[in-house]
Amino acid sequence: MSSQAATLHVTNGDSVVYTFKKAGIVGTHLPWRDVLHEGPVPAGGTLEETSRIRAEYLASRGFGKPIKLLHDFASRDATLRRASEFSEVVLWFEHDLYDQLQLLQVLVTLDEMQLEPGRVTIVQSDQYLGSMTADELVSLHPRRRTVTAAVYERAQDAWAAFTASDPAALLALAGRDAPGLPFLRAALLRLCQEFPWVGDGLSRSQRGALQSVAQGPVREDELFRRAQAREEAPFLGNVAFYGILRDLAAQPAPLVEGGDGMLLLSALGRAVLAGGGDWVESQPLDRWVGGVHLRGAGAYRWDDLAGSFVRSAQADS
């Protein structure tokens, strides 16, 4: 086996793997495939334990069948666990929240495996790898950088903050640069904005979806494009976005309504979007952001003007 063929390439999804093959980037190609910004990622679990939690959650949100998700995660994790068998492990990830959380999980796992220095390298891009041509992707390969002990340490700190049950450490890391991980700070700040906001109780993604509905009735695929256009670094896939729409249409306090794939704001939706209502006061809150389980009116809220979290005296124990 040639040294290039003995390379493990880890990246964010299948579209990049397709371009790897088209570009002649040979080796073992491993798409990571998980929307870690959505749903539970509690602290303390092994990669495999976390994968079982993730598979159950993703199945509940329509990302696939439970058995297949479990199988895919098990196969993925087993391949990464074989990292020591490869001459090099190359991590290919983008700047957006989806990729940066995946990158943290992969780095933390590789760090725990204690591979010899220089074995793992990283390609980071502020352009979307899946939309690149084969030639553009090939041109990034020589620019890869060795993952150092300092980068592993920063990844460990960020993963611990992401999986913690209190978002204080997450906010602290979102406020400072992480040398070697140039896109992490912005991604963590964007994650903070996925908590329910002070005032209307909506996450930024929920508000973006609601604002897209308010622009006028169109089908869901066009709503998705509208919402993504509001992001500095789009990270949502269509399955995750359609899940947000289902949440916004759920009883007992739907913010959107309609049929035949066409959605309109409800009366409550118009009020909330105009700043005249708090959705959490009408709709039971039960969501996870990383390791934080958001439940009830006393859950952590994001104050975007202050750039900080607040929690009411009604907080659940």
**What is the residue type of 11?**
T
User: Distance between CA 236 and CA 219 in Å, rounded?
Assistant: 17
Q: Where residue 90 falls among pLDDT bands split at 50, 70, 90?
A: very high
pLDDT exceeds 90 at position 107: yes
User: Distance between CA 184 and CA 315 in Å, rounded?
Assistant: 29
Kindly state the average pLDDT of the residues 291-303. Answer: 94
Look up residue 41 and give its two tokens.
Answer: 């990622």
pLDDT exceeds 90 at position 219: no
Cβ atoms 278, 265 nearer than 8 A: no
pLDDT exceeds 60 at position 157: yes
- Beta-strand (E) ranges in 254-307? 256-259, 262-265, 286-290, 292-295, 301-303
**β-sheet bridge partners, residue 197:** 302
197-284 has which fold?
Answer: Arc Repressor Mutant, subunit A (1.10.10)
Q: Where residue 2 falls among pLDDT bands split at 50, 70, 90?
A: very low
Look over the chain and give the mean of its residue pLDDT values, rounded to a whole number: 94
N- to C-terminal Cα separation, the chain = 56
pLDDT exceeds 80 at position 5: no
Give me the pLDDT at residue 100, please: 98
Kindly state the average pLDDT of the residues 264-280. Answer: 96
Cis peptide before 252 (omega within 30 of 0): yes
The answer to whether domain 7-190 has CATH 3.40.1360.10 is yes
Burial 67-103 (b: 16+ CB within 10 A, else e): eebbebbeebbebbeebeebebbbbbbbbbbbbbbbb
pTM summary value = 0.95
Q: Where residue 220 falls among pLDDT bands split at 50, 70, 90?
A: confident
Is the pLDDT higher at 49 or at 220?
49
Sign of CA dihedral 152, 156, 157, 158: positive
User: Distance between CA 8 and CA 269 in Å, rounded?
Assistant: 47
Cβ atoms 13, 98 nearer than 8 A: no
- Domain residue spans of the chain: 7-190, 197-284
Give how far the C-alpha of residue 116 lies from the chain's centroid of Cα atoms, to the nearest Å: 29
DSSP 196: P
* pLDDT tens per residue, range 119-156: 999 999 999 999 999 999 999 999 999 999 999 999 99
